[in-house]
Structure 1
Amino acid sequence: MIHFWEKIKLFPEEAIEVLQNMSLIKIMENKEVWMHDQLRDLGREIVRQKSEIEIEKQSRVWNPEEALDLLTKHEGNKVEALRLKFDHEGQHRFTYEDFRRLSHLKFLSVEGSKEKFLAEERLIWYESPSSGLPTNENSYLIPRLRWLSWCDIPLTFNITKFSMKDVVILDLSGSEIKHNWKGWSHLEVCYMLDNT
């Protein structure tokens, strides 16, 4: 996580020390940062109140339902963190432009078990549903992306269209991605990788 904060210029060493001294966080044995759920929720509520509760004005959208709503309404182009979660209730269709306009996005989390990503119930791109994103070699989605967490990513998804050169944390846990995945060549500074 320190590498993520360094990449977005938040001076993590000083901030972590201050938060530890105030007993707001703990660094666990496996170097995970722990904080109480209530403190996390309080921080999220402060962000919501600063944006006057209007989702399109929020810089971070942690509620998956609100995140889907934001994407389908084509709003929130200043959002920096987005958490999506897919369930069995139907298809979620987005265009290339829906993600392209998220040019400030630094953190993207996508959740959904493999069975939720069946052909009829998975993330589908309107322009090119069979092969992932449309091909445009000179254009990458989400150029400021630093942290990508996509549990159970479908093998059919073409992640190489995401701007991966500055990603420092990549979590593809639960996926079936192997060593021959095309996305590996796009990673330049990744410090933490989980594809178990």
Structure 2
Amino acid sequence: MVGIWGPGGIGKTTIAKAVFNSIRHKFETSCFLADVGSNSNGRAQLQERLLHDVLRDSNLKVSSVDQGVSFIKERMQDKKVLLILDNVSHSSQLNNLVPSPDCFGPGSRILITTRDKRWLIAHEVNEVYEVKMLDDHHALELFSLHAFKRNEPPSDYLELAQHVIRYAQGLPLALIVLGSHLFRRSTEEWEATIGSCKGGPQADIQEVLKLSYDALGRDLKELFLDIACFFKGEYAARVKPILEACYDHKTMVIGIAQLQEKALIRIDKDDRIWLHDLIEEMGKDIVYQESPDEPGERSRLWSGKDVDHVLTNNTGTNKVIGIQVPWLLSTISMNAKSFSEMRNLRYISMGGPSFSGDIDYLSNQLRWLDWHNCPLQCFPSDFQANKLVELNIISCKIRQLWEGRKHLWVAQSKES
């Protein structure tokens, strides 16, 4: 058994099909079960399809999953089979279709494609092949085949094609979708497509990538959106305590491991958290779509323009759970009511800008408050810091904290 693992759109199914077509003649019988994870016909029907293809008995009927498992165990042991299980999304699918390694005859080969490495490990596959992003040379070749029906772009399109390559970052799906969209289009249409970030072919790419997100549980979705919106490129050692404060230790540790297994994030050799730009873009678009017209109705704010709008105009709501201000922002003018409706706010990171004004409310749900150049001299009188685990208020004007519990790490400058 060999697993083929990687994110959506990277070409797992294409590789499996190529292998299947090139070696199937070496086997007594073969079966390609497409899109196992989203098959609407049910598990028993998948088992029946497998049995029909391998045994060549169209009269055989499978009335239940348990019966199908028994048939597979009893009737395939003398068959040298090539079996492809495409897009597996849960261990039960593997257990029902390959209940044990010795179900099939000697010399059999089973290829499993999945977005989630965990299922491969749990099923004890022999090898896991991680599909890598294409390098620039091969990316340009794949893109050109779809955009120009040749191996390289014409000279007058080369610079535009290189822009697309940088955008796609080696993801085959992006290269194919964009190449097909741009085929026989003018340079003006190319420039408009490259300059656009919403709709069109990009929407098709995001729809495929979003399949991995949709399969996550609630806590994993929240964890992924936090990382996509706030923590790409950050050191994992810095991010993990923040996520643990906002969730819990078990959710954080298991969640990060599962997001890596699902190829949505990776932690590099320098301990930094990374996402493919298109996966990051997908996560941010999910949050944007929560309220396209009013950022104060979204769960997370990371754009300087949106943060300034919300804090200046008091448009924040109880839907906002995290705010991160970019260092490039210069000034934000707050007022007493800037945070008054954000009652579920749990994470604030105010980095570079200087702030003016004062506030009379902070959420009692706050876990993490990292605020440089904080303009406050004291915290709101009704602020309860029972859930706060870190307060970093370097270069601030704070003279007095709050009444009650203060079991947390407090970092202050000598001037504060």
Q: Verify same fold: TM over 0.5.
A: yes
- Tell me whether 1:21 sits opposite 2:239 in the alignment: no
Matched-pair identity in %: 21
CA distance in 1, matches of 2:266, 2:310: 31
Cα distance change of structure 1 residues 182 and 165 upon mapping to structure 2, 3 Å threshold: farther
The Cα of 1:172 is off from its aligned counterpart by 3.2
2:335 maps to: 94
Q: Are 2:324 and 2:350, in contact at CA under 8 Å, matched by a contact in 1? A: yes
Deviations 1:56-88 (A, max 9, x none): 321111112111212233223121112346525
The Cα of 1:53 is off from its aligned counterpart by 5.0
Q: TM-score, normalised by structure 1?
A: 0.64
Cα distance change of structure 1 residues 93 and 20 upon mapping to structure 2, 3 Å threshold: closer
The Cα of 1:103 is off from its aligned counterpart by 0.8
CA distance in 2, matches of 1:73, 1:176: 23
2:324 maps to: 83
Q: Are 1:65 and 1:84, in contact at CA under 8 Å, matched by a contact in 2? A: no
Give 1:78-157 correspondences, 5 Å limit: 78-84=319-325, 86-87=329-330, 92-95=333-336, 97-112=337-352, 117=354, 122-125=355-358, 141-154=362-375, 157=376
CA distance in 2, matches of 1:169, 1:87: 25
The Cα of 1:145 is off from its aligned counterpart by 0.8
Q: Are 1:151 and 1:171, in contact at CA under 8 Å, matched by a contact in 2? A: yes
2:401 maps to: 183
Q: Are 2:314 and 2:339, in contact at CA under 8 Å, matched by a contact in 1? A: no
Q: What root-mean-square deviation, in Å, do the aligned CA atoms of Structure 1 and Structure 2 show?
A: 3.4
Deviations 1:8-56 (A, max 9, x none): 4461121111123345131776xx6512472444322221124345323
Cα distance change of structure 1 residues 99 and 57 upon mapping to structure 2, 3 Å threshold: closer
2:320 alignment partner, SS class: coil
CA distance in 2, matches of 1:14, 1:153: 34
Q: Are 1:106 and 1:146, in contact at CA under 8 Å, matched by a contact in 2? A: yes
Q: Are 1:166 and 1:187, in contact at CA under 8 Å, matched by a contact in 2? A: no
**Unaligned stretches of 5+ in structure 1?**
126-132, 135-139
Cα distance change of structure 1 residues 141 and 177 upon mapping to structure 2, 3 Å threshold: closer
- From 41, 55, 59, give the equivalent of 2:295: 55
CA distance in 1, matches of 2:241, 2:334: 33
Amino acid at match of 1:165: N
Deviations 1:149-185 (A, max 9, x none): 112335xx22433543312233335x2689xx63387
Once structures 1 and 2 are overlaid, which stretch shifts more, 58-67 or 47-56?
A: 47-56
CA distance in 1, matches of 2:288, 2:339: 22
Cα distance change of structure 1 residues 48 and 153 upon mapping to structure 2, 3 Å threshold: same
CA distance in 1, matches of 2:276, 2:335: 31
CA distance in 2, matches of 1:26, 1:187: 35
Amino acid at match of 1:5: L
1:168 maps to: 389
Cα distance change of structure 1 residues 189 and 92 upon mapping to structure 2, 3 Å threshold: same
Cα distance change of structure 1 residues 160 and 65 upon mapping to structure 2, 3 Å threshold: same
2:379 alignment partner, SS class: helix
Cα distance change of structure 1 residues 33 and 184 upon mapping to structure 2, 3 Å threshold: farther
CA distance in 2, matches of 1:48, 1:80: 14
Amino acid at match of 2:243: W
2:304 maps to: 64
1:99 alignment partner, SS class: coil
Structure with higher Rg: it is 2
Deviations 1:101-152 (A, max 9, x none): 2111111122336xxx4xxxx4112xxxxxxx56xxxxx5211111111123
The alignment of Structure 1 onto Structure 2 pairs a total of residues equal to 166
Amino acid at match of 1:141: L
